[in-house]
Chains A and B, each alone.
Chain A
Amino acid sequence: MLPELKVVALVSIGQHIKSGRFQRADQDARAVELGLKLRGVDLTVLHAGSADEPVLRRYLGAGLKAITVLEQPAKADIVGPMCEYLNEQGAQIILAGTKAECGEASGMIPYLVGERLGWPVVSRVADILSVANGEAEILQALPRGQRRLLKVRLPFVASVDNAADAPRQSAFGPGQRGHIHRVQAAVVADELSASWTQVPAKKRPKRLAVVKAKSAADRFKAATAKSQGAGGVVLQAEAPREQAQAIVDLLLEEGLIQ
């Protein structure tokens, strides 16, 4: 834990993917968990929106003392006021989820905040290993469970990936006892989104394999032909040594062993 560090976690309201019930946003909760690991209960947790939102109590239930809420109406551009507040507070590390679970969910917040403050943005963070001498060692999550080591100078913005540690359980009692700081902030209207039309999403159709046949015979063949299992190489009579060698060759070709 690093007591002298100023860490801020940005949280939003999440939504269950099937039931639509409001809940902690998963990645934001992971960001809070990462912040708790770095900074303990003194972590600053910031939300821009309504302070009366019951979901905020769930975040508090993870053992936080307080949440700061920048009071903003539903359709507002929160980036400007938020950056102003973050600048005032002298934050050094800003943690946020990669993507929101409600609304537009473009995943732009970390980049917009980073751009506005002029800080580097590290995406898809799985863990922050250490912060020392004004430099942080970060593990970035790559596809297929791989990790990359990055070094960044403070201050920076980090978007937290699903690969980060799972958030601790939220307890009801501490959630009710936690304090919610209300901060008044300027309101910038988001005019562009007023003209958008929103409809409930329908399931997207899967792409069909269309047969592009030039002649009737080809079309007939495509319609009637059984998909012939290409059937790979079968090594039956060879000695186990040769068989094992064939497997090693294939693994080498795929670059899975050196």
Chain B
Amino acid sequence: MSFDDGEELRRRDPRVEHILRNRLHPQHESLISAPAETRGPSGLVRKNPHQIGFIGPNGLKRIDRLAGNGPVLGRDVRAAKVKTEALRPLVSIAQAEQFVVAVMDMVGGRLTAHDKDVLGQAQQLAAEIPEVCAVVAVVFGAVKEDAFELAGVDRLIHLRGEDYQGYCPEQSIAALQVIDQKLSPRFWLFPDSVHGAGELGLRLAARLQERPATQAWQVSSEKTTFRGGSQRTDICVDTPRLLLLAEESAAPIEDTRHEVVPMSELTEDLAAQVLPCIKDGGQVAVDPKQISLAEAEFILAAGNGITDWEQFHSASEILRATEGASRVAVDDGLMPRNTQVGATGTWVSARVYIAVGISGAVQHLQGIASCDKVIAINTDAGCDMVKRADLSVIGDSQEILAELIQLCELRQEQEMKQGVEHVA
């Protein structure tokens, strides 16, 4: 067992301790070092400077004048955490005979948890195939992900360029069809999600005239169980070649590292020669008030601490945030019932949640459990919302909101100016 990973363990050796206690032991002399202070032959006290103190965690010598009674030094918890993770063993496949291809969602250019589950499933299936099998990940568009090797990607096909910007199902399917012809993969895996890869799976199945299993959640190379309509039936089938996997169908890769070899020879001649019938007109600005609270990305929520409601509404407008409220604000009739966040209201899943004047009742904190980033604006530094928040701002909410509005207005003005200059 090695201790080079994680924290250092302090081990006691009872035998050595026993020898150190027993002055009559034959090895006692060799184990104890000479004491730091001895009385010399002339009766003077001699100090051995090499024996005093100990080497601290930063390599400097430290002298403990409190004789062990002070606070423990040299065990900085944060420093221990920073230690680099042990390198996982590398799995490299030089010549693959079979392929399992997984198409990734890549929301915001990064692998989602669902993507990683799909890659985990792909590795499981690859292990079940008797021949040497590589997992190929197919990604479209701009990519920000830098941990493909830890997610279990043996080969990477990255389709970029103008053809694959925005919504381009026809070009993507043409590319997947070429991959199907060239690699003839043993399995095609897709995450069954709303982010695009699921749709590609259905399109590819229609194009290849094959019947896929959708919402598959128990998959081996022989049998597959998938959920039927309305989540009411489980259907067990012989595993088809195309699989759309439900969330958490398999565990993601955790123990191994894989070499992400780009399949450049494939991606070169994948330049799509399709004439697309669907033209992407880009995203449309949506009124944040129309977005339902449960799926809103950015929520500004108000609680008991708000006094100036006009200001709150103008803040949500200028930030383009969806409005939420705590139960108190709703009960007092200051906000409509459908804006209530929490156990009795809506369970929200926002990426950023700003709680203004909300102290954070348990029910409210339950409701925002799946939010990524929480910002608290509150007068009380000790409230539960501040403990939950990633960024807490202690002060009068009215002043802070006023400053926030001012800053946003400033930014907008600057943008306007820049825009005018640009045109000129």
Q: Which residues of A contact B (CB under 8 A)?
A: 15-17, 20, 99-108, 111-112, 114-115, 120-124, 137, 139-140, 142-153, 156, 192, 195-202, 204, 207, 212, 214-215, 217-218, 229, 231-236, 240-241, 243-248, 250-251, 254, 256-258
Contact B373 A248 (CB under 8 A): no
Contact B400 A240 (CB under 8 A): yes
Contact B217 A204 (CB under 8 A): yes
**Smallest CB gap from A256: residue in B:** B298
**Smallest CB gap from B282: residue in A:** A149
| Cβ-neighbour of A152 out of B194, B277, B282, B408 (below 8 A) | B277
For B386-406 the 0/1 string (1 means CB < 8 A from A) is 111111111110011011101
A111 in contact with B233 given A215-B1, A234-B392, A240-B399 (CB within 8 Å):
no
B206 contact set on A, CB distance < 8 A: 108, 111-112, 114-115
A6, B359: Cα distance in complex, Å: 57
| Cβ-neighbour of A124 out of B194, B215, B381 (below 8 A) | B194
- In the assembled complex, 9 residue pairs joining A and B whose CB atoms fall closer than 8 Å, in A order, are A111-B205, A120-B278, A148-B283, A148-B284, A214-B5, A235-B391, A245-B407, A246-B391, A258-B415
A231 contact set on B, CB distance < 8 A: 387
User: B231 an interface residue at 8 Å Cβ cutoff?
Assistant: yes
**Smallest CB gap from B415: residue in A:** A258
Contact A156 B277 (CB under 8 A): yes
A207–chain B nearest beta-carbon distance, Å: 5
Which 10 A-B pairs rank lowest in CB-CB distance, beginning with the nearest?
Answer: A105-B229, A149-B281, A145-B291, A244-B403, A232-B390, A111-B206, A120-B277, A115-B206, A243-B393, A236-B394
Contact B295 A143 (CB under 8 A): yes
B175 contact set on A, CB distance < 8 A: none
Contact B282 A148 (CB under 8 A): yes
**Smallest CB gap from A217: residue in B:** B9
Contact B277 A198 (CB under 8 A): no
Contact A257 B235 (CB under 8 A): no
Other contacts beyond A195-B237, A197-B236, A198-B233: 19, CB < 8 A? A15-B229, A17-B230, A20-B232, A101-B229, A104-B228, A115-B206, A143-B195, A144-B296, A144-B297, A145-B295, A151-B278, A200-B233, A201-B232, A236-B381, A243-B395, A246-B391, A247-B377, A247-B393, A257-B411
Contact B351 A108 (CB under 8 A): no
Contact B283 A142 (CB under 8 A): yes
A229 contact set on B, CB distance < 8 A: 387-388
User: B248 an interface residue at 8 Å Cβ cutoff?
Assistant: yes
A100 in contact with B229 given A115-B207, A241-B403 (CB within 8 Å):
yes
**Smallest CB gap from A201: residue in B:** B234
User: B354 an interface residue at 8 Å Cβ cutoff?
Assistant: yes
A80–chain B nearest beta-carbon distance, Å: 12
Contact A247 B279 (CB under 8 A): no
A250 contact set on B, CB distance < 8 A: 352, 373, 375, 390-391
A103 in contact with B229 given A241-B403, A247-B393 (CB within 8 Å):
yes
B330–chain A nearest beta-carbon distance, Å: 21
| Cβ-neighbour of B279 out of A103, A115, A150, A218 (below 8 A) | A150
A-B contact count (CB 8 A): 223
B383–chain A nearest beta-carbon distance, Å: 11
B150–chain A nearest beta-carbon distance, Å: 14
User: B142 an interface residue at 8 Å Cβ cutoff?
Assistant: no
| Cβ-neighbour of B351 out of A150, A212, A215, A256 (below 8 A) | A256
A257 in contact with B167 given A101-B229, A232-B389, A234-B392 (CB within 8 Å):
no
Contact A202 B352 (CB under 8 A): no
A233 in contact with B391 given A240-B403, A243-B403 (CB within 8 Å):
yes
B6–chain A nearest beta-carbon distance, Å: 7
A244 in contact with B407 given A143-B194, A218-B6 (CB within 8 Å):
yes
Contact B392 A105 (CB under 8 A): no
B202–chain A nearest beta-carbon distance, Å: 5
For B256-267 the 0/1 string (1 means CB < 8 A from A) is 000000000000
Contact A234 B284 (CB under 8 A): no
Contact B373 A254 (CB under 8 A): yes
A100, B233: Cα distance in complex, Å: 13
Contact A148 B281 (CB under 8 A): yes
A99 contact set on B, CB distance < 8 A: 229
A149 in contact with B392 given A198-B234, A200-B234 (CB within 8 Å):
no
A201 contact set on B, CB distance < 8 A: 227-228, 231-234
